[in-house]
Amino acid sequence: MSHSSADIVVVGSINADLTVTVPRHPNPGETLLGNGGGLTAGGKGANQACAAAKLGASIALVGAVGDDANAGPATSVLRASGVDLSNVEEIEEVTGLAVITVAADGENTVLVVPGANACVDAAFVRAHSTPVEAAQLVLLQGEIPADGFAEAVALAAGRVVVNLAPVVDVPREALLQADPLLANEHEAGLILAQLGADDTGEPETLAQRLLDVGFPSVVLTLGAAGALVADANGLRPIPTPRVNAVDTVGAGDAFAGALCHRLVEGDSLDEAAAFAARVGAFAVQRPGAQPSYPSAADELPSCKSAE
């Protein structure tokens, strides 16, 4: 077991993405012809780790892959990006699989088969406690079991950032440790409903309600409209560059990884969110998830240049 340490530790999912492009999303019962069908690296945990690593972050991933042929494609970009995979176990299961359809307008649907990710429970996380306890920041999503999520929060000595996507039932007190909670508008409503609060209203209303239920800070991602930061100092809009979106798969994960990278580097939440919006805008201009993420050497789009 590795005793290496990283500034950021992601406890999360690793998937192989099977992507098909279609002219539009099919209606129920309808068959459409598509293109593609190749496997690429994905999984929300892996995507976010990759995004941060490509930007230069010191990052480790705690997770699991199967003993099947998909494990290689699922981890290839992580390895190339310098993510520490010494706490990723290969187990007797299938590697997590995401089946993604991307329409001509760039919008996507995703169906996830958890596979080995379902084994990242409390016992698994405890077995890999060293990097979690040593990290400056622990980043979590919703694609591992709830008790694994809660165990990672309990072990974390540093900052906890949560992107509860998909929105699954996790212990309330563990979830409220998120600082910030990172969510899109739809996820924000589902999280409020899970916590027994009103889940209707505009993004500003949802952000304020999330503060009211106990989150220290919140970042809502709003797609082409940018983002919204909320904390004890109020609510602030974060602009995003205007770009032509080709594929939105993994854009939210690019935002999350970039946000955490800049928080560890000492940025304020507003500064980190503004940088993350530029990284997300870069990513949507290219197909795929991890292959679309910028490196530290890439020039990011700016709001000023887009005007």
Annotated binding residues for ATP:
184, 221-226, 252-253
**Binding residue ranges for K(+):** 247, 249, 283, 286, 288, 292
Q: Annotated catalytic residue: which of 253, 267, 270, 298?
A: 253
Which amino acids are annotated as binding site for substrate, given as ranges? 15-17, 43-47, 143, 253
Contact 290, 42 (CB under 8 A): yes
Q: How far is CA 284 from the centre of its chain?
A: 15
Known binding positions: 15-17, 43-47, 143, 184, 221-226, 247, 249, 252-253, 283, 286, 288, 292
**Terminus-to-terminus CA distance in the chain, angstroms?**
51
Cα angle 281, 11, 228; round to 5: 35
Q: Is 179 an active-site residue?
A: no
The pairing of beta strand 159-162 with beta strand 8-11: unpaired
Q: Which residue has the tokens 């970009």?
A: 77
Let me know if 266 is exposed, middle or buried by CB neighbors in 10 A (0-12, 13-18, 19+): exposed
Q: Please state, in angstroms and as integers, the Cα–Cα distance from residue 6 to each residue in 83, 135, 201, 245, following that order.
A: 9, 6, 39, 33
Which is it for strands 108-113 and 96-102: parallel, antiparallel or unpaired?
antiparallel
In this structure, the dihedral spanned by the alpha carbons of residues 60, 66, 70 and 73, taken in order and rounded to 10 degrees, is: 10
Q: Show which residues are catalytic.
A: 253
